[in-house]
DNA sequence: CAGGATGATGGAAGCGCTTCCGATGGTTGG
DNA sequence: CCAACCATCGGAAGCGCTTCCATCATCCTG
């Protein structure tokens, strides 16, 4: 079993001291250009890689980043993670995965992790980080980047939820719908006060169209397809049901569609349905939606992390564009084609 | 910023040397029971946790396990990972995530990771590990556990793919179908020679039922809903199309259903469709399937890892049971209800 | 051309832990 | 009652790296 290649090996081969070798590799100043080159070349030839453990112990970087995510089995989070992981891996950073669901998890996470200085940065995936938590991490010298959700005063990459929601609702309005319902999903595991752009978009769009907002047309459910189905049932129970429904996400919309079919109603003949995300199954089920670039958000967040850790600037927040995708689940009202 | 609690602190408080403290915490022999107790109590009070970095550097464990997974955005892998992560986190182990897709990734992974001794164990999620790779890890003292796929001669937790497939196909046979098609999905990123139990099950079930296997009734596609749709189209193009179709997984089955609907055929009136997995959307779309306990497989794998790392035995392989779930996508042939 | 400033490098300490090697003192058996 | 043992514990040496500090060799300025 061949021994590990150490810094000392590289230094010896390059004819310098370990101290200089370390500086050369770390890109520190006060190292002659020639020396730096030589050390780097030797290191490369030996395919030397610093030991994260030793480095970290001695006060350096760990080469690891924590990724915090509330769910793993939902497509959205998986795709986000996939984009992120790829970039991070290519940047030579290891990904430490933490699923943090409820409040207890959160508390535990924020108390434990930074104290052990296991990572150089944390990426919060669709995961609101509050001010106190942010301060805690900052204090410990850990960088933060958010993807799929904004963190006040921190680099993030996300979509404009309000704009996305408006694309969806405006589409329904343009089709001529006046009685538009919303199935609003809340995540029970997340803190309640999430500023819900998608819901706000609904009210804004209706207001702009001069349509009064009727509270009974808003069904609030927990996130999920079954819950979406239930929300739709609620809407169907109204004296005057909506002719179109805007769902918080595609999974919720898919649930709504099922309820409609079971009720013998045609989509979009009797009721139009639109979601948000462009989940792979949306294409399959011919669901109109607003596409957001999920993998891309993860990848961008990854690049931001890599950039800050290599000394550069992460840049400020980025909002990626969304795009209305019209499929077969939306049409003019009363169009019993 | 309060300093980290170190082993030295614990030792001092307990009135012993760091050496003894380390042994006490590590559960080594040759430590008086009383001393061990005392040290542990003090450590607990101070909520001391060993620094993985220092421990690893000094030749101990890292407290980390690598999880290798070919995909992240598919429900199956996410669910597997969710179960695994939860158990590992509770056991105090950190999860290092590696997505390893194609052959190049694999090679890179197996060459790099173990050499840097970053982890104590690796869990391969639905990821065949070949003999050479296994040997490489073993040689470096890294434990291996597989979930959702067997690894010869290593602890694993999985389902019996052949049995699951038979449950599905037998169901179609029992309903009276004689002309049964199969949409077989292969993962382009995985090595080709995966021993496909689900496909074997098809041939076995037909043989048992005395139905000749006709090659034209087997459509092989890449994994995915769209691909499933395409496979179904192929089957529909046959002179005599099948009256029932067995799909490799629910996503594939869902694609098949879409093709059938577009073709104006009723499910199950004209064609029955069954998948495997019990994907959340299967319930939603009323798809018959064979349920497998996905999260549970991940969790079990996690427990196996935790067990081996704490010195116990992981136990041999475990096959979890699957269960036929009859929904509305399967029915007797020619039942145009 | 001298004195200080600046740049490049090596020496050495030490991060927090594990473990080898001995030292110590109590046991046991002949 | 003494030698041989053994269980228990402390001392100390690193693991591989970063960084502080000291040391020279240059280089500039006046």
Coil, strand or helix at A66: strand
Evaluate whether B62 touches B55 at the Cβ level (below 8 Å): yes
Rounded to an integer, the average pLDDT of B269-284 is 95
Positions of chain C reached by protein Cβ under 7 A = 7-20
Q: Is the pLDDT of residue A96 over 50?
A: yes
Q: Is the pLDDT of residue B112 over 80?
A: no
Tokens of B316: 């041999």
Half-sphere exposure in the Cβ direction for B122 (13 Å, CA): 27
Residue A309 confidence class, pLDDT cut points 50, 70, 90 = confident
- pLDDT tens digits along A118-161: 889 999 998 877 788 888 777 777 888 988 876 666 788 999 99
Which tops the pLDDT comparison, A206 or A156?
Answer: A206
In the A/B pair of chains, how many CB contacts fall below 8 A? Answer: 130
Positions of chain D reached by protein Cβ under 7 A = 7-20
Which tops the pLDDT comparison, B115 or A23?
Answer: A23
pLDDT for residue A193: 47
pLDDT for residue B193: 47
Evaluate whether B288 touches B257 at the Cβ level (below 8 Å): no
Helix/strand/coil percent split, chain A, to 5: 45, 15, 40
Q: Is the pLDDT of residue A191 over 70?
A: no
What secondary structure letter does DSSP report for A212? Answer: P
Coil, strand or helix at B123: strand
Distance from CA of A210 to the nearest CA of B (A): 36
Average pLDDT of chain B? 90
Buried b (16+ CB within 10 A) or exposed e, A261-297: eeeebebbebbbbbbbbbbbbbbbbebbbbbbbbbbb
> Which chain A residues are within 8 Å of B73, Cβ to Cβ?
75, 78-79, 81-82, 295
Tokens of B289: 């399937």
- pLDDT tens digits along A255-298: 999 999 999 999 999 999 999 999 999 999 999 999 999 999 99
Phi-psi region of A43 (alpha: psi -120 to 50; beta: other; left: phi over 0): alpha
Angle (CA) A37 A42 A47, round 5°: 125
- CA A2/CA B113 separation, integer angstroms: 15
Buried b (16+ CB within 10 A) or exposed e, B4-13: ebbbebbbeb
Q: Is the pLDDT of residue A195 over 60?
A: no
Q: Which is it for the CA torsion A36, A38, A41, A43, positive or negative? A: negative
Evaluate whether A1-48 and A161-292+323-336 have a shared fold. Answer: no
Distance B56 CA to C12 C1' (A): 24
Helix/strand/coil percent split, chain B, to 5: 45, 15, 40
Q: First and final CA of chain A: distance in angstroms?
A: 73
CA distances from B111 to B60, B134, B137 (A): 22, 12, 10
- pLDDT tens digits along B168-224: 999 999 999 999 999 999 887 665 445 588 999 999 999 999 999 999 999 999 999
CA distances from B302 to A73, B122, B297, B331 (A): 17, 10, 9, 39
Half-sphere exposure in the Cβ direction for A258 (13 Å, CA): 21
Nearest nucleotide (CA of B21 to C1')? D9
> Which chain A residues are within 8 Å of B67, Cβ to Cβ?
97
pLDDT for residue B152: 61
pLDDT for residue B115: 66
Distance from CA of B78 to the nearest CA of A (A): 4
pLDDT for residue A1: 47
List all residues 6 or more positions away from B10 whose beta carbon is below 8 Å from its beta carbon.
B21, B25, B39, B42, B43, B46, B48
pLDDT for residue A150: 63
Buried b (16+ CB within 10 A) or exposed e, B238-251: eeebbbbbbbbbbb
Q: Is B226 within 8 Å of A284 when comparing Cβ atoms?
A: yes
Residue B47 confidence class, pLDDT cut points 50, 70, 90 = confident
- CA A14/CA A9 separation, integer angstroms: 9
pLDDT for residue A151: 60
Cα–Cα nearest to B289, from B260, B259, B326, B320: B326
List all residues 6 or more positions away from B136 whose beta carbon is below 8 Å from its beta carbon.
B110, B114
What CATH code would you report for B1-48? 1.10.260.40
pLDDT for residue A115: 66
Residue in chain A nearest B229 by alpha carbon = A284
How is chain B split into domains, by residue range? 1-48, 161-292+323-336
What CATH class does A161-292+323-336 carry?
alpha beta
């Amino acid at each position: 079993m061949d021994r590990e290649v150490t810094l000392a090996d590289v230094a010896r081969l390059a004819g310098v001291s370990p101290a200089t070798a370390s500086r050369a590799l770390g890109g520190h100043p006060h190292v002659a250009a020639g020396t730096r080159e030589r050390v780097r070349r030797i290191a490369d030839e030996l395919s030397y890689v610093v030991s994260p453990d030793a480095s970290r112990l001695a006060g350096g970087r760990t080469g690891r980043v924590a990724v915090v995510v509330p769910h793993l089995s939902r497509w959205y989070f998986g795709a986000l993670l996939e984009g992120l992981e790829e970039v991070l891996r290519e940047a030579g950073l290891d990904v430490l995965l933490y699923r943090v669901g409820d409040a207890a998890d959160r508390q535990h996470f924020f108390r434990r992790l930074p104290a052990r200085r296991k990572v150089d940065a944390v990426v919060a995936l669709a995961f609101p980080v509050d001010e106190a938590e942010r301060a805690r991490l900052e204090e410990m010298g850990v960088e933060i980047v958010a993807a799929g959700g904004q963190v006040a005063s921190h680099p993030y990459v996300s979509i404009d939820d309000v704009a996305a929601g408006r694309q969806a609702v405006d589409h329904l309005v343009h089709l001529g719908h006046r009685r538009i319902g919303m199935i609003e999903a809340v995540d029970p595991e997340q803190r309640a006060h999430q500023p819900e752009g998608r819901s706000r978009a609904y009210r804004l769009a209706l207001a702009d169209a001069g349509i009064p907002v009727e509270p009974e047309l808003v069904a609030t459910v927990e996130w999920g397809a079954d819950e979406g189905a239930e929300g739709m049932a609620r809407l169907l129970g109204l004296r005057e049901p909506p002719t179109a429904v805007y769902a918080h996400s595609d999974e919720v919309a898919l649930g709504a569609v099922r309820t409609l079919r079971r009720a013998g109603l045609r989509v979009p003949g009797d009721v139009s349905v639109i979601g948000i995300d462009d989940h792979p199954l949306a294409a399959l089920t011919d669901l109109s939606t607003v596409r957001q670039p999920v993998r891309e958000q993860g990848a961008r967040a990854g690049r931001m992390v890599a950039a800050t850790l290599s000394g550069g600037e992460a840049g400020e927040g980025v909002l990626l564009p969304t795009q209305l995708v019209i499929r077969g689940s939306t049409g003019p009202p009363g169009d019993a084609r």
